[in-house]
Amino acid sequence: MGKTPRDDVDEVAAVEREVDELRERTEALLAELEHRIRDGVDRARGTVARVKRAVDVPAHMKALPAAIKRHPRTAAGIGFGTLALAGLGIVWAVRRRRAAARPWNRVRARAAAYRAILADPRAVLKPRVPIWRRLLAAVLVTDATTIARKLVARAIDRVAAPPPALPAHSPLGA
């Protein structure tokens, strides 16, 4: 009924097997994590490279003449579309301005403004800013401008000033 040395050996062997199984599982999990991390880093690097290529305006500008030569009809279509869109925008703006300048439309706009003022004057009219607040703002802006000018002048003087002369060095130490 007691334990024999053989039971202890069996328990040790079982513990060793369990430790080995846990070690193998842990190694497999670590390998999978490393694989996923490497894959994520590779995807991130690829995304960064694609974004860098996409926003590299100087390279796109250098390649533009060659692209226009390869696809002249497409370039002409894009140019024509851009000009047409700009022209339509100008026509639309001129028509709106002319319509607003007509006497009857001006009377309508003014009547709408008077109705809004009569309905709720406080919502339409701006409240007056107290004089002390306007003076304080003016003083602060003046001070900030003066400080900025002095800092810029000091920085320019430091940059423009010749470097200090090095002391004459005698090889004999005298």
Question: How many whole angstroms separate alpha carbon 55 and alpha carbon 50?
Answer: 9
**Residue 86 in this model has a pLDDT that exceeds 80:** yes
Whole-number pLDDT of residue 173: 53
**Residue 36 in this model has a pLDDT that exceeds 90:** yes
Q: What percent of the chain has pLDDT over 70?
A: 90
Better-predicted residue by pLDDT, 173 or 96: 96
Whole-number pLDDT of residue 4: 73
Question: How many whole angstroms separate alpha carbon 61 and alpha carbon 55?
Answer: 11
**Residue 85 in this model has a pLDDT that exceeds 80:** yes
DSSP assignment of the chain equals ----HHHHHHHHHHHHHHHHHHHHHHHHHHHHHHHHHHHHHHHHHHHHHHHHHHT-HHHHHHHHHHHHHH-HHHHHHHHHHHHHHHHHHHHHHHHHHHHHHSHHHHHHHHHHHHHHHHH-HHHHSPPPPPHHHHHHHHHHHHHHHHHHHHHHHHHHHHHHSPPPPPPP--TT--
Q: How far is CA 67 from CA 106, 109, 113, in A?
A: 51, 51, 54
**Residue 90 in this model has a pLDDT that exceeds 70:** yes
Structure tokens, 33: 């994590």
**CA proximity to 67, closest of 56, 78, 54:** 78
Question: How many whole angstroms separate alpha carbon 100 and alpha carbon 97?
Answer: 5
**Residue 174 in this model has a pLDDT that exceeds 60:** no
Whole-number pLDDT of residue 167: 67
Structure tokens, 102: 């007509």
User: Stretch 66-85: mean pLDDT, rounded?
Assistant: 93
Looking at 78-87, 95-104, 159-168, which range is the least confident one? 159-168
Whole-number pLDDT of residue 169: 64
User: Stretch 101-119: mean pLDDT, rounded?
Assistant: 92
Neighbouring CB atoms inside 10 A of 100's CB total: 11
Q: Which residue shows structure tokens 């900025």? A: 148
| Mean pLDDT score across all residues of the chain | 88
Q: Is the pTM of this model over 0.85?
A: no
